[in-house]
A and B are shown apart, each in its own frame.
Chain A
Amino acid sequence: MRVLGESAGLLRQAGADPERLAALEAAIVAGIGLPARPRADVHVHLGRDRDGHALSPDELLDDMAQWQVDRAVVFALNDPGRDGDFADANRQVMAAAAAAPDRLVPFCRVAPQRGALAAIEAAAAAGARGLKLHPVAQGFAPESPAATACVAAATAHGWPVLVHAGFGARPLADALASVLEAVPDARLVLAHGARGDARAVRARCADHPGIWFDTSLAALPDLIGLPPGRLLFGSDRPYGDYATALQLVGLAARIAGWSDDELAGVLAGNLASLLGEDDAGA
């Protein structure tokens, strides 16, 4: 049993009362009015991070079953390995997705300055369907030539690119505009509702057809100002949890007055569009 995203056994070991916490967790989403299914999560990390966060494929699949999440986009935590190219971490993500192909959609993660283009090609051959870039963790500018080359390579494969845009992010609006000018067909998903630079991004490029946003650990005032047709539900597991991720989307829908169709799109349909599945009739 997991409570608030954590093992009930570990919480009990820590002196907490899991039953009390479970009652509080139930109230987080009670009355929010979210449709039960379908739900798809665009932002999940697998593996073990340098900072101690960890999530195994089995733990994720259990979480998804508990919260009625049908599919999740998965990519590596910050575990670049000895060579810094995420080779092992990407292999583990691809293997997890291959073992649950109806549930997990694998993206590859790279460090643009460390063998990234080769890593992208290796991941493509292994079944990757997107790219994850973390400019803060990997220490690069999103508009740098190396990062732009990664976006171009991903776009050539027909992949979207999920970009960290939360805590610690540099000013993003001009950087994103630069990337989109260099790679006009790119589709960039700004994580965390572009929380790190939300107002500037919204003013500069929110209406660009290549810009999308995920809701993971986003700020509610940011989400209600973004177009629901470009929003993708995300949890940021294991940093985030499903209860508050769903609470956030439910509250945003009510405050912003999203239609039922718009909410269904945020929860799942927009991801299918991003992945090109609606074009394929999937």
Chain B
Amino acid sequence: MRAPDAVRLVAALGAVEIAIVRRDPMTGPLLAQASRAADGLTVGPWLAAAADLARASDLWDDASSARARRKAVQVLCRAAAHAVQAQVLGIAATAPPTEGTQ
């Protein structure tokens, strides 16, 4: 991952983190944008999966299933944020599985 890619993703994921906590309707678009920025990078599969989950219309429902999906989105974004920050700080984190394992 090149430094500009990493810095771009750190910023994008910071925005997504706050949007999720605030239940902001911009969460989906912000996450889709972060996913596109990560396409082809090691964290791409995590963010693609998170963006898929966030596309659901009832993301903010109080139903247990919707809450579980929100939490899964948060975990995938957090994993990506940690990996990208580690890259910025000097090491490469483990890559998620490639297409064949998803």
Contact = CB atoms under 8 A, between A and B. Distances in A.
A10 B86 contact: no
Contact of B97 (A3, A23, A32, A238): A23
B102 A6 contact: no
B89 A52 contact: no
B59 to A, nearest CB: 9
A248 interface: yes
Interface in A4-35: 4-7, 10-11, 13-16, 20-21, 23-32
Nearest to A30: B94
A13 B102 contact: no
Nearest to B53: A16
Interface residues of A, number: 40
Interface string B6-47: 000000000000000100000000000000000000000110
Interface residues of B, number: 33
A3 B76 CA distance: 11
A167 B94 contact: no
Contact of B102 (A20, A28, A221): A20
Interface string A210-223: 00000001011100
Interface in A201-256: 217, 219-221, 224, 238, 240-241, 243-244, 247-248, 251, 254-255
A27 B94 contact: yes
A14 B65 contact: yes
Given A23-B102, A220-B86, A255-B89, A4 B72 contact: yes
Interface of B: 21, 45-46, 49, 53, 56, 62, 64-69, 71-72, 75-76, 78-79, 82-83, 85-86, 89-91, 93-97, 101-102
Interface of A: 3-7, 10-11, 13-16, 20-21, 23-32, 52, 167, 217, 219-221, 224, 238, 240-241, 243-244, 247-248, 251, 254-255
